[in-house]
Chains A and B, each alone.
Chain A
Amino acid sequence: MQIIHSILIANLARLLRSFGRRMIERIWRLGAAARLFFLTIIYSGESFRRFHLTLREIYFTGVMSLLIIIVSAFFVGMVLGLQGYNTLQKYGSSEAIGVLVALSLVRELGPVVTALLFAGRAGTAITAEIGLMKTTEQLSAMEMMAVNPIARVVAPRFWAGVISMPILAALFSMVGVLGGYMVAVPLIGVDDGAFWSQMQANVDVRDDILNGVIKSLVFGVACTMIALFEGFDAPPTAEGVSQATTRTVVISSLTVLGLDFVLTSFMIVV
């Protein structure tokens, strides 16, 4: 009885210890990420003075993501059109399909799905690239040559992500609306004029479109910063880089969804 008791307590203590260790590590990583964020902001002068560095990264994060964004936006819009029509038609208001497609895209799906796709398409690439740079000691070599790796490597990628994300999200929303239009008007036969006029009457430029852009800006900062930090913080091994890449996707997705709720609750005046 005594033995069982002591084993139980020892196991419990081990569990608690490991839990505490993990928590402390999380908080340490959060602090390190915040420090990297501030350093990136402070050293971001060079990424604007030598803007071709940032342009190059915009090419890799933004331009190369165009195809996945446009194709998925088109399909998301088409599905919204089909599903929305199916439900709205039961209430005899199938003309409201334009409003439904536009509002759900501009307010939520545009910024959020773009951020999720961005984390998978560009975030992982950033993490893997920087992680590999660290593993092959390119970052240390830069420091040896008195080149600040944060100014030369991290900041241009950060600004490229922050610039690319709103553009991609706006494209996503616009292409999605066109996808919804393709399904609703030529395929199902909703009236063309009613589709656009109902949409224009109910989508507000400031309340809906501008808030969507603000959301995508915040997601851009969050996703890019997470990807950069995971790469910068990755253990310099093949396994470490692979795990960091996985973590980028997981943490980015969770952060985007959580932030989305917080931002929406700020934006919607109840």
Chain B
Amino acid sequence: MDRTTIDLWVGVFVALGIAALLGLAMKVGNLTSNKIGDTYTVSAAFENIGGLKPNAPVKSAGVVVGRVADIKFDTKAYEAVVTIKIDERYEFPKDTFANIYTAGLLGEQYIGLEAGGEEDYLKNGDKIAQTQDAVVLEKMISQFLYNKAAEPSADEGAKASDEKASNAKSTELGDPPF
């Protein structure tokens, strides 16, 4: 085969490969959606961060405004110190509230920022004072059980009729009566 024809086909081949790689990076990968311009860094201390990971999104009103840069453990206060990079375009008041939320029931965890009302804005190196920890499912369940266990002793009289009602209900629903 002619040498120029081969060159042409190999050129087409390489161009296709580059196009596929670019397509993978742009359309399939997170190269475009992950783009955050210049950032400033603030930190926040949490007693429990749950399953928060570096590079998790930081959202405000559902919009991604930054990423978690770093998570450290502070041995003095026994707290987790989370460093957050926020896009320079977005400014938050000094009394902004930082929560750890979970996306969906089993989704990844992210930091939600709720803006406060102060005039001054957070600057590079500032610390967010008000934080709320991640919800730990086991704690919630044990709290719930604790409350449940405390309930009947408070009202002994209502217990019997309550039980009857609940029994009737559960059999109605087809559950086996225990």
Tell whether, in the assembled complex, residue A171 and residue B20 are in contact, meaning their CB atoms are under 8 Å apart. Answer: yes
- Chain A residues 209-224 with CB under 8 Å of chain B are 209, 213
Instruction: Tally A residues with Cβ within 8 Å of B.
Output: 32
Interface of A (DSSP majority class): helix
Closest to A206 in B: B29
Residue among B3, B9, B24 making CB contact with A106, cutoff 8 Å = B24
Q: Mark A36-68, 1 if CB is under 8 A from B, else 0.
A: 000000000000000010011011001100100
Question: Complex formed: what's the CA distance from A196 to B13 in Å?
Answer: 26
Tell whether, in the assembled complex, residue A201 and residue B20 are in contact, meaning their CB atoms are under 8 Å apart. Answer: no
Question: Complex formed: what's the CA distance from A229 to B9 in Å?
Answer: 27
Question: Complex formed: what's the CA distance from A156 to B78 in Å?
Answer: 61
Known contacts A55-B7, A63-B10, A203 near B17 by CB under 8 Å = no
- Ordered nearest first, which 4 A-B pairs have the shortest CB separation? A167-B17, A174-B20, A170-B20, A205-B29
* Residue of B1, B3, B21, B25 with most partner-chain A CB within 10 A: B21
Give chain B residues whose Cβ lies under 8 Å from the Cβ of A171. Answer: 16-17, 20
Closest to A64 in B: B9
Q: B residues bordering A, Cβ < 8 Å? A: 1, 3, 6-7, 9-10, 12-14, 16-17, 19-21, 23-25, 27-34
Tell whether, in the assembled complex, residue B25 and residue A205 are in contact, meaning their CB atoms are under 8 Å apart. Answer: yes
Tell whether, in the assembled complex, residue B29 and residue A208 are in contact, meaning their CB atoms are under 8 Å apart. Answer: yes
- Chain A residues 54-102 with CB under 8 Å of chain B are 55-56, 58-59, 62-63, 66, 102
Question: Complex formed: what's the CA distance from A32 to B143 in Å?
Answer: 68
- Is A173 in contact with chain B by the CB < 8 A criterion? yes
Tell whether, in the assembled complex, residue B28 and residue A200 are in contact, meaning their CB atoms are under 8 Å apart. Answer: yes
Tell whether, in the assembled complex, residue B28 and residue A199 are in contact, meaning their CB atoms are under 8 Å apart. Answer: yes
Give chain B residues whose Cβ lies under 8 Å from the Cβ of A175. Answer: 20
Question: Complex formed: what's the CA distance from A164 to B10 in Å?
Answer: 10
